[in-house]
Amino acid sequence: MTRVDVIRVYGGARLAGEVAVAGAKNSALKLMAAALLAPGRTTIANAPAITDISIMAEVLRRLGCQVTLDGGDITIDTPERLEPEADYDLVRRLRASICVLGPLLARCGHARVAHPGGDAIGSRGLDMHVAGLSRMGADIGSEHGFVVARATRLSGASIWLDFPSVGATENILMAAVLAQGTTVIDNAAREPEIVDLVTMLNSMGAHVTGEGTSTLTVEGVETMHPTAHRTVGDRIVAGTWAFGTVMTRGDVVVRGVGAGNLRTALDKLTAAGAEVEDLPDDAFRVRMDARPTAVDVVTLPYPGFATDLLPMAIGLGAVSAGASLITENIFDGRFMFVNEMSRLGADIRTDGHHAVVRGRERLSGAPVRASDIRAGAGLAIAGLCAEGATEVSHVHHIDRGYPNFVDQLRSLGVKAERVTVPDEDYRY
């Protein structure tokens, strides 16, 4: 009989204390790809100890790099000659690995990267990646499940993104730093992770301006050099703890992420009745003494409400007084986990990209299944507001985005454990 891990949480406790947030997954993975742009040793500090980092390390090793992971420190030794192909067996496990396309094309003049996999949260095409690199002179096509790109030397271009895609912005940006001439990316993504990437690229010798705005200007350079960089804190993990605090009527200090990178989400928690206090040195405090009041949420590109926090917003609505209207504008499959939340007794009705959530005083513990990283964390947090025990299966998803998730829950005063059970118990 095979067995699987589940995370079991027990309802009735409040989150209280302090929690330290590591570096952002969505930044560290792209910083690792950026190391491909310069031969030599690059070091990245404050990286999260999660499964996705290990997968990305193996992607880079297959490309010819030597990669060492030591807690939150990553050392990448990039050779003069890279292998320009990223195989399917790894890329299918990590969608972010498509971000090696731009650096490989810029360094090698050609790249062959398998079509990516990743979370089951809806379609995320590569059209904007391809269009942007094509504008810079790349010849790009698809062969046998691979994206194949070639260019003797990329040239600067004016590129307009139809949507401020984080992935497309990153790929085009990393290709443009070694292109000949000036590249302007309009309607670029503005996320803190983009700012973090630009900071690292500039420390490697790139000339990029406009970070944090919708227009990035890149003056191409001939060569780059390795660097040492510290990853920005993970605002999504920080937001998860903030929402969990309000849902459980707790009191938590979150360290490692400044409130400014979470302003829209924290404003929603304030509207729900929470007290939010900015603290020095990238920290903030969230306190909630009463049942939250229902708030409406609309996901939008940064600085709007992050789609990755949508499961937490639905969890908040499930225990709030009143009804919440939750609108998802980024991923068409983000509501896939709603049936699992309903197993906990949540009153949720979906219609297209809208969900109406009518709050209940208490949920009811049940076995549930994580369908993606954020859904898994959201279900576990909702389980803290349920009577009895909640068991979350498919916890490998949570492992991809939340380092030491169970240990951090325990440190905040709630009863949680990771246990192994027969897999036949989770085949519903």
25 is in an annotated binding site: yes
- Farthest-apart Cα atoms in the chain, separation: 63
Q: Is 322 exposed, middle or buried (0-12, 13-18, 19+ CB in 10 A)?
A: middle
Residue 85 to residue 347: CA distance in whole angstroms: 47
List the one residue out of 175, 173, 183, 169 whose CA is nearest residue 219.
Answer: 183
Is 26 assigned a ligand-binding role in the annotation? Answer: yes
> Is position 308 annotated in a ligand binding site?
yes
329 among the known binding-site residues?
Answer: no
**Catalytic: which of 70, 89, 119, 347?**
119
For helices 166-176 and 192-203, the axis angle rounded to 10 degrees is 10
Residue in 194, 222, 192 with CA at minimum distance from that of residue 207? 222
159 is in an annotated binding site: no
Element housing 417 (H / E): strand 416-422
DSSP per residue over 18-80, as a string? EEE--B-HHHHHHHHHHGGGSSEEEEEES---SHHHHHHHHHHHHTT-EEEEETTEEEEEE-S
CA distances from 134 to 145, 159, 190, 405 (A): 19, 10, 22, 41
CA 193 from chain centre, in angstroms, equals 9
Whether 119 is catalytic is: yes
Buried b (16+ CB within 10 A) or exposed e, 266-292: bebbeebbbebeeeeebbbbbbbeebb
| Binding region for UDP-N-acetyl-alpha-D-glucosamine | 95, 308, 330
Could you give the residue numbers annotated as active site?
Answer: 119
**Binding-site residues from annotation:** 25-26, 95, 308, 330
